[in-house]
Structure 1
Amino acid sequence: MTLQDLLSKLQEIQARLVLNLPKRLRPYFDALDLSARGLLVLGPRGVGKTTLALSRSKGMLYIPADNPLVAPFKLWDICEAAFGAGYDGVIVDEVHYAREWAVHLKALYDAFPGKRIWATDSSSASLESGVSDLSRRFVQIRVPLLSFREFIALKHDRLFPVIDPFNPDIPSVQGVINAINPLAAFGEYLRQGLRPFFLEGHYAERLKNVLDKMVFSDVPFWTPQISENHLRLMQAIVGHLAMSPIPVISVESLTREWGVGKVKLYDLIEVMMRICLIRVIERKGAASKLHLRGAKLFFYDPSTYYVLNGNTANVREAFVACSLEEAGRSVFAADDERICDFVVDGVTLEVGGKSKLGKAADFVVRDGLDVPLPGVIPMWLLGMMY
């Protein structure tokens, strides 16, 4: 296949994908500044990075780097041919699949000053493997998991204003309650609504496919000297998080049971974090390296507990950590759980059901509550921050 043949194939692929874009796009997209000539769009698998790129692809050629048709060609050669064919820019999707992608992006950015060069990637590990050389040229944009506010917009075609759960605008809260049943919608969102592909149906099967690709494709890509035993160990960690009523793991027992050293175990867990499979909430003041003592481990996406038919006891805390971190807040595990569960930007939070007491926390976050009370935040309100 020649470069011209490849361009023709890519044009066909892009045309089909654009024709099949969803009618309603994530409201989060409208808040993004896409004016930079060089963009690196990051985020977990399945959050809509490709949809975002294709919806803004006018005058640009879409290049799926994970497509086997693309693999035989150098990224430079494809992009140079696209520019020669009159394209204003290129979008390289899943850029880490391209050989020496960071070198090529930097060279293309410098050699074609009038062209736009965008790339997407589903792993924050790319930041450490190549982005350091691109930081002065490429603006990084992160696409988070779907918020409850966005789920409502896509599901019910009602876009409500952003609400600060710590200081809620009461008329805005009342507007949501009057328009929909927030508790029923929130329950559906937690079970099958944190990624926009819920609109296509078969959410559980789609998310399981995402999880499998993370473990069997993404992890080996970023972890040197991976073995079958390491993959089974990561599956064991996933199984433990799914079924355990307490969101912690024992480093000592895992190293003994699986015959791996602590250094390798920590390396595997860190990669699982970077590919957005798990979320580790450490205590404030922990060492700069990953520190699991006193930390809480959750699935990155709270709906994973339901999809894997796991123990849903940790869904509440998993969602609180998820919603706050995805909104850009700093979240830490409490040093003393007799006081609270989390510390968020200096504010202490306790998490529980409708009758949960706040211990000594500044706020208690209650599931099953529809309206805010003094010192009490309805859990669904945390999903309205973006």
Structure 2
Amino acid sequence: MDILIEFQDNLVRQLTNTFRRYLHQKINWQQRMIAIKGPRGAGKTTLMLQHLKFDLGLPAHALYITADHTWFYTHTLLETATDWYKQGGRLLFIDEVHKYPRWSRELKNIYDGLPELQVVFSASSALDIYRGEADLSRRVISYSLAGLSFREYLLFTQEISYEVLALKDVATQHRAFSQSVLEKVQPLPHFKKYLQKGYLPIIAEGEDEYLPKLEQIINAIVDTDLAYIASYNTGTAIKVKKLLGVIAESVPFKPNVSALARKLDLSRDSVYQYLYQLRDARLLNTLVAEGKGVATLQKPDKVYLGNPNLAYALRANPDVGNLRETFLLSQLQNIAAEVLAPKSGDFLVQDFVLEVGGKGKTSAQVKDTPNYLIAADDIEMGSGQRVPLWLFGFMY
């Protein structure tokens, strides 16, 4: 076990506590088994290590391990947890659990066989922890960590703190909140940077390195994460990347599944499957029309990229209108809001119809809708039902 303890110590040595993700305070850290899911680069590892170091004080009974460590070439997860328990261990953090082939069965064995051991594990957002080969539904509490909101981005890069707003507050009190922001910072220049290079905390490693690193993350999600989770081979990964590229060229994308299947030499069912796997991996967001039933593997009415930064990684000159819609949908999805495609307007959420556009956007398309908001870009302050688009980035 010494090699694992040394690995942990090396990681926490340089760890700081200057910034914490929004999810940290929402987790009930007392639960026996906790899952933290999220896209690569969102900060799952840092979140766990910050709790270990700064909340718990690196106690002797706690250990951090990662499931892709070479240790697991010759040891099992269950064996490791059991040995740690025998040495007095009572808390085990397991990173990247989806990279361990028998993760669900051995987690179940750990939960059932070591009742005094608490386990916190992280996994790709694409992993369905309730559909592994063993039933964890009654054993694990799951949390999802999204990329940075615009509010978090300002805290992370400018060290300026603001409160979280509910959607109804954005709708009804946007002038007061906008004014409170303007007293500290001009949001528009920062918002432009956020849309291009601000969704993931890797921005701390430098703006010039951000998009190349994001491209590496996209490749790693398809080549590695989905390979583990969905048993992709090299040929499958290439087709999935082509599908992602086709969508990136024309988002918001109204999928013609038959045409996609012919273009990529896939079955219709495979296209559906890959669309939803990319959605679960947070590389895409999907939208179904108002009044449509929710069915597994049904054709989405629109497909968007998972966040606006992806557009800059996948295209040379992304369309600004698409960026605006992608941003707003990602923020709504990240607060777990149910978002539909309305008959008029761009998004329907919590009885609000949202129409997205630039500073000159009018209510012409939604004026007959009783409860609408115009999410207008390039404005610092709104009025009435015109709300600054950037303010929707303060919801988490």
1:225 positional shift:
6.5
Alignment partner of 1:172 is 2:180: no
- Report what 2:223 is aligned to: 216
Distance in 2 separating the partners of 1:67 and 1:49: 17
Alignment partner of 1:46 is 2:54: no
* Number of residue pairs matched by the alignment: 375
The 1:256–1:27 alpha-carbon spacing in structure 2 relative to 1, beyond 3 Å, is closer
Distance in 2 separating the partners of 1:34 and 1:194: 26
1:310 positional shift:
4.4
* Aligned partner letter, 2:345: C
1:111-260 counterparts in 2 under 5 A?
111-130=113-132, 133-163=135-165, 164-168=169-173, 170-201=175-206, 202-224=209-231, 226=233, 228=235, 230-244=236-250, 246-260=252-266
- Report what 2:284 is aligned to: 278
Alignment partner of 1:21 is 2:31: no
- Report what 1:366 is aligned to: 376
SS at match of 2:261: helix
Q: Is the 8 A contact 2:242 2:264 kept in 1?
A: no
For structure 1, the 5+ residue unaligned runs are: 1-6
- Report what 1:83 is aligned to: 85
1:312 positional shift:
2.8
Alignment partner of 1:327 is 2:329: no
1:118 positional shift:
1.0
1:59-116 deviation per Cα after TM superposition (whole angstroms, max 9, x unaligned): 3211100122323211111011112222221011111222322122122122222221
SS at match of 2:70: coil
- Report what 1:3 is aligned to: none
Greater mean alpha carbon deviation, residues 236-245 or residues 173-182: 236-245
* Aligned partner letter, 1:331: V
1:132 positional shift:
7.0
Greater mean alpha carbon deviation, residues 27-36 or residues 76-85: 27-36
Greater mean alpha carbon deviation, residues 56-65 or residues 40-49: 56-65
The 1:272–1:326 alpha-carbon spacing in structure 2 relative to 1, beyond 3 Å, is same
Distance in 2 separating the partners of 1:247 and 1:21: 41
1:205 positional shift:
1.6
* Aligned partner letter, 1:141: Y
1:188-233 deviation per Cα after TM superposition (whole angstroms, max 9, x unaligned): 11111111111112111211111001111122223347461x3333
1:351 positional shift:
0.7
- How much identity, in percent, do the aligned residues show? 27
The 1:245–1:273 alpha-carbon spacing in structure 2 relative to 1, beyond 3 Å, is closer
SS at match of 2:304: strand
So what's the TM-score if we normalise by structure 2?
A: 0.89
SS at match of 2:360: coil
* Aligned partner letter, 1:323: Q
Greater mean alpha carbon deviation, residues 280-289 or residues 116-125: 280-289
1:208-265 deviation per Cα after TM superposition (whole angstroms, max 9, x unaligned): 111001111122223347461x333322222223222642232121112222210111
SS at match of 2:183: helix
* Aligned partner letter, 1:34: W
Greater mean alpha carbon deviation, residues 159-168 or residues 240-249: 240-249
* Aligned partner letter, 2:191: F
CA root-mean-square deviation = 1.9
Distance in 2 separating the partners of 1:277 and 1:82: 36
Greater mean alpha carbon deviation, residues 278-287 or residues 22-31: 22-31
SS at match of 2:171: coil
- Report what 1:306 is aligned to: 312
